[in-house]
Amino acid sequence: MTPAPAGAAAVRAAAPAVRRLAAPALRVAALLGRRLALLTVLLAVVFAAVELLPGDAASATSDRGEGAAGVARRRHLLGLDRPVAERFLDWITALPTGDLGTSARGTPVTGLLSAPFPNTLLLGGTAFVLTVLLSLALGCWAAARPGGTVDRIVDLTSTAAFALPEFVVSIGLLLVFSLGTGWLPAATLTGADGSPSDASMLVMPVLALAVPQTGWNTRVVRAALADQAATPHVEAAVLDGLPAHRVLLHHALPGALPAVATGIATSTGMLLGGAVVVETLFNYPGVGTVLAGAVADRDTPVIAGVVACAAAVITVVLFLADLVRARTLGARP
């Protein structure tokens, strides 16, 4: 991003200030450009993969006994008889406007996803926030006394937790909260607008997503703090006799943030993918249901649309992690 053209003289007069502001802005723009380029490449790969699939949307949804002429007519109607490159260009230029293309049944994919995708984002986002808070808290608690009882217990439970598939965690939660205590219903009840009827419906799905990812990220936080504890500036703070919690939070944690941000950002994909699984089990009204239907119908445009949405969300989170990393590493060249 170049600074706005505001008169050459003024720019020259303010040159040092502009340079001070422009350099970080340029760096941020470069990071954003890199992430967007990766996103575009992934979308191209997905689109090409969809193209290479045997059978297209027109034949996948053909009614029994429909003749070749009917299929050809619908192929023309869906625009599938145009060159691949042209259709990819149309698809990808329409994406930023919120148009995800047309499903095999002829309905807009955006319309199919507009109600369930926010529900899935709510589920994944809540689990994301919970994961960040829990893993930072647990990682710091464990790092406060390296090798102590808390450290060993946190290490063991986090290792155990992140190995578990979300649906296995869900079964454990169902046993405790529905079967054992009867506190929560086993399936999601939805209101008139198709969203979960109240917040308690979110408790089990969110926990099922957050438990494995918290296990993983607690380990990332713990390892990053251990790396920081060995750096000279943290050792100096310890030798200065600063209280342990002050050393941990003000000296070790800031340096650990880049590694933590990267770790948590890589969890985003697992959270979104896991959401699809957990939704199936709890009958939660998210994209999981739409995807299950799309797989059964071989409705590839819908799946490509979900991939595009998920990849966009992951790109945003990875970009935020890039910013955290650039900020921390930039402050200490």
Partner 1 sequence: MSVAAAPGPSRGGRPPLRALAAAAPFLALVLLAPAGPLLAPHPVDRPVGAPYAPPGAGALLGGDQLGRDVWSRLLHGGGALVASALAVAVAVTFLTTVLGCFAVLSPRLGRAVERTADLVMLLPPVLGFMLLALAWPGGRRLAVATAAVALGTPYAVRVVAAAAAPLAASGFVEAAVAGGERPVHLALREILPNLRSTVLALFGLRFVEAVYVISVAAFLQLGPQPPTPDWALMIRENAPGILLNPWAVVAPALAIGVLAIGTNLAADHLLPAGRRTAALR
In the complex, the residues that contact partner 1 under the rule CB under 8 A are 38-39, 41-42, 45-46, 49-50, 52-54, 156, 159-160, 162-168, 171-172, 174-175, 178-179, 186, 216, 219-220, 223-224, 226-227, 259, 262-263, 266, 269-270, 272-274, 276-277, 280-281, 291-292, 295, 298, 300, 303, 306-307, 310-311, 314-315, 318
Residue 99 CB, shortest distance to partner 1, in Å, is: 20
Whose Cβ is closer to partner 1: residue 15's or residue 329's? Answer: 329
Give me the sign of the Cα torsion angle 101, 102, 108, 110: negative
> Considering only CA atoms, which of 287, 286, 282, 283 is closest in space to residue 302?
287
320, HSE (Cβ side, Cα atoms, 13 Å): 12
Residue 310 CB, shortest distance to partner 1, in Å, is: 6
Whose Cβ is closer to partner 1: residue 14's or residue 42's? Answer: 42
| 102: β partners | 108
Whose Cβ is closer to partner 1: residue 15's or residue 48's? Answer: 48
Whose Cβ is closer to partner 1: residue 9's or residue 52's? Answer: 52
**CA 87 to CA 291: how far, in whole Å?**
23
Q: What is the dihedral of CA 221, 222, 227, 232, to 10 degrees?
A: 100
3-class SS letters over 301-319: HHHHHHHHHHHHHHHHHHH
Q: Which two tokens stand for residue 275?
A: 């959401």
Residue 153 CB, shortest distance to partner 1, in Å, is: 14
Residue 220 CB, shortest distance to partner 1, in Å, is: 5
Residue 167 CB, shortest distance to partner 1, in Å, is: 5
**CA 146 to CA 226: how far, in whole Å?**
8
Q: Which two tokens stand for residue 298?
A: 């071989």
297 with 61: CB under 8 angstroms?
yes
